[in-house]
Amino acid sequence: MTTAKKYLVTGGAGYVGGTVAARLLERGDRVTVLDDLSTGFREGVPAGAEFVEGRVQDAARWLDGSYDGVLHFAAYSQVGESVARPEKYWENNVGGTMALLAAMRAAGVRKLVFSSTAATYGEPATVPITEAAATAPTSPYGASKLAVDHMITGECAAHGLAAASLRYFNVAGAHGGLGERHDPESHLIPLVLQVALGRREAISVYGDDYPTPDGTCVRDYIHVADLAEAHLLALDAMTRGDVPAGEHLVCNLGNGNGFSVREVIETVRKVTGHPIPEIAAERRPGDPAVLVASADTARERLGWIPSRPDLADVVADAWAFARHRHQEEGA
C-alpha cells in the first residue's frame, strides 16, 4: 500500500487535472488544487481537495516543503487561439512553468509530473509515434509545451529534479462525475454527443479523402481515467527511485489503436441510440491523416496498461456525463 502523500495540482479545476486530483484523493493522498478558473470550473475541484484560487505564476505564495510533489496541468490549450494570440501561450504556459519550477526549487519539492501533449510532434513521419520521433510542433501551443519539456530537462540535470512529461493523445470519457466541458468545445466525441443531445444539428467531417480505410482522419483515444492512472504511476515510480533525481522521463500516452472520425460517429450512434447527421467539409490545414501513439515506454517504465481501451466504453462514460449536465441545466 502506498503511504499517503501531499501534492499540489496546478490546473486541478480542469478536465484532466480535476480527474487526477480525484484519483489521488481516492487512494488517500492529500491534495491542494491551484487554479485561476480562467478555463476551469470551481465545481470541477473534487470534494476533499483544498482549493486555492490563483495563478501558477504565484505558486511560491503557497508551495512549501510539506509537499511531496507537483502535478502541473495549468496551461492554455486551444491550438487556434495560440496562432492568433501566441503571446498569451508563451506568457502562461512557458512563463508560468518557469515560475513554478523556481518555487519548487526554493521549497525543496523535487518531484514533478507535467501535462505535455502529442502536439509537440507536429505532423509525424511515421506511426505509431515513439518518443524518439522528431519534435516539430505546428502551433504556438505545441511549441510552448515543447519549450517546457526542454526547460524541465535542464532543471532535472542542473538541480536534481525527478520529472515525467506525459504526452497525451486524444483524451475522452469521464470519471467520478468529471468530464469534458470546454467552452468553446473543439474535441470530436463531446461535439458528436452534442448532436445526440439536440444541441447541434449535425457533425462536420473535415475531409473524407485521406489515405485511411474510410477516408477520414484516424486518432488515438484514451480514457481520462487511464490517463489519470499514468500520473499516479509516475509519482510512485519517483517515490521508489525508478525515476531518480536528475532524470526527466518522457512518455507517450495512448491506446496504440486508431479510430477514424466515422468510426467515432458510428460508435456514438450505437451507444446513444440517436441518429447523427454528418456534413461533409473541407480538410483543415495541418490535420495529419493518422496520429497513433506507441505507449511502450509508459508500459515498460511505469507499468501502465490502459484498462478501458474499448472506444464504446469511452463514449458511454462521456455520454453519461453529457446527459447528466444536460439534465442539470434543464435543457
37-65 confidence digits (pLDDT tens): 999 999 999 999 999 999 999 999 999 99
pLDDT at 120 over 90: yes
Q: Annotated catalytic residue: which of 67, 76, 121, 141?
A: 141
pLDDT reported for residue 17: 97
Spans of all domains in the chain: 6-173+220-253, 188-219+256-328
pLDDT band, residue 1 (cuts 50/70/90): very low
Q: Which of 172, 165, 162, 170 is nearest to 297 (CA)?
A: 165
CATH number of 188-219+256-328: 3.90.25.10
Average pLDDT for residues 72-79, to the nearest whole number? 93
pLDDT reported for residue 148: 98
- Note whether 10 and 72 are within 8 A (CB): yes
Query: Does residue 7 carry a catalytic annotation?
Result: no
pLDDT band, residue 331 (cuts 50/70/90): low
pLDDT reported for residue 330: 66
pLDDT at 95 over 80: yes
Q: How far apart are CA 38 and CA 16, in angstroms?
A: 15
pLDDT band, residue 2 (cuts 50/70/90): low
pLDDT at 184 over 80: no
CATH architecture for residues 6-173+220-253 = 3-Layer(aba) Sandwich (3.40)
- Note whether 280 and 208 are within 8 A (CB): yes
pLDDT reported for residue 98: 98
